[in-house]
Structure 1
Amino acid sequence: MNVRRLVLFVPLVVVVGLGAFLYQRLDDDPYARDSALLSRPFPEFSLSTLSDPQSRLDASLLKGQVSLVNVWGEWCPTCKHEMPQLLDLASRGVHMVGVDYKDTRAKGRQFLEEFGNPFSVNLFDPDGTLGFDLGVYGAPETFLVDAEGVIRYHHTGYIRPEDVRDVILPTLERIAEPATNAASTPDEEASS
């Protein structure tokens, strides 16, 4: 008789355990995931720009200055909502590179005309090859790249105004510091 009662409680224990596990996960950000590329060089690529099909740019584009790389597409409704934040960052002097992902040139150009163009250059990735190498599974996704071309931060999804204030700007300042300190070191050595 006692074995029967124990068997009746097994489903209850399983349901309670599963419920507790799911309850703990409610606060998890579904977009939060670590990129396998953090602290690694930006993937090599050779792509044309959105404006010029004859041009070819490669990863050297991301060396020499801190850059924000934003993967976007005209087909992406969330990309439209984050554009004010990207325009704000551009107005603050942030070097921004866009990656028009799985799009057409005409639609990409139309999107930028309608919502603004914060990017110093837009790479055209119609087949998603660079997106694949970056591990992108949708748009928008954003990468902060240091002056050596190394990925230092990855943001999945929409950049909200508080993300700019609390994460993007502080991270940009932090990764720009080593370049500033390295640039000032030779002067300090000369004065000693």
Structure 2
Amino acid sequence: MSTPATSDEQPGRRRWLVALPLVGFLAVAALFLLRLYGGDPSKIPSALIGRPAPQTTLPALEGLANNGVPVPGLDPAAFKGKVSVVNVWASWCVPCHDEAPLLTALAKDTRLQIVGINYKDSPDNARRFLGRYGNPFSMVGVDANGRGAIEWGVYGVPETFVVGRDGTILYKMVGPVTPANLDSVLKVEIEKALKARP
């Protein structure tokens, strides 16, 4: 026969029962934060890897020229036959300013083409941005409403893709191109794409 709980046992048990949901919530929150911030954001997988680049046509950045010739907008047909680096950028994006000189230097590699998608930007600011850092892009598509970025599966600017000669997306970098990841990651992926058989 059990004895009734003493008055000292009841409050301690109640406190534990009241605290149990809070302990559970804190454990779930800690797990969520660990998954959210514990990994490398540049390694977020993309459902588009191994698939054809989106057939998104975007208009040219009005008034942008290279040696007096207007720079064309984004034409998906231009991916065929060339290894392409597609960079989604905006003048209001702080990391885009940091990566711009690196992309300009990368554009000197004549084995590939660098394509820009200008995301939700004003044309004047976009032209000023390219005037300040140089224009590495052989094409600049204006994505004024963000629809093109959605089709490319962009999480946020900047993001960079490597597209193979057959128009297939081979790699996606989330976040800015930096001096560290340019050589150790992006150029490695570009070389793989250049060596791949068409």
Q: TM-score, normalised by structure 2?
A: 0.77
Q: CA deviation at 1:46?
A: 2.0
Alpha-carbon spacing, 1:109–1:165, altered in 2? closer, same or farther (3 Å): same
In structure 2, do the counterparts of structure 1 residues 54 and 39 end up closer, same or farther at CA, with 3 Å as the change threshold? closer
Map 1:32-71 onto structure 2 (within 5 A): 32-50=43-61, 51=64, 57-71=74-88
Q: Is the 8 A contact 2:72 2:138 kept in 1?
A: no
SS at match of 2:161: strand
Which shifted more, 127-136 or 144-153? 127-136
- For structure 1, which segment, 25-34 or 56-65, has the greater mean C-alpha deviation from structure 2 after superposition? 25-34
Match in the other structure for 1:111: 129
Matches within 5 A, 1:32-181: 32-50=43-61, 51=64, 57-93=74-110, 94-179=112-197
- Deviation of 1:126 (Å): 1.4
For residues 97 and 139 of structure 1, the distance between their equivalents in structure 2, rounded to whole angstroms, comes to 14
Aligned counterpart, 1:185: none
Contact 1:48 1:54 in 2 (8 A): no
Match of 1:186 in 2: none
Match of 1:14 in 2: 24
Q: The residue matched to 1:91 in structure 2 has which SS?
A: coil
Cα displacement (A) at 1:31 = 4.8
Q: Which runs of 4+ in 1 moved over 6 A?
A: none
Query: Contact 1:64–1:148 (CA<8 Å) still a contact in 2?
Result: yes
Contact 1:43 1:133 in 2 (8 A): yes
The 1:22/1:62 distance shift into structure 2, 3 A limit, reads: same
If the length of structure 1 is used for normalisation, what is the TM-score? Answer: 0.79
**Structure 2 counterpart of 1:21, which letter?**
L
Larger relative helix fraction: 1
Q: In the comparison of the two structures, how many residue pairs are matched?
A: 180
Rg larger for: 2
Gaps of 5+ in 1: 183-192
Indicate the SS of the match to 1:46: coil
Cα shift at 1:33: 1.4
Amino acid aligned to 2:121: D
Verify the 8 A CA contact 1:69 1:142 in the aligned structure 2. yes
Change (3 A) 1:9 1:130: closer
What corresponds to 1:28 in structure 2? Answer: 39
Measured on the aligned residues, the alpha-carbon RMSD in Å equals 2.7
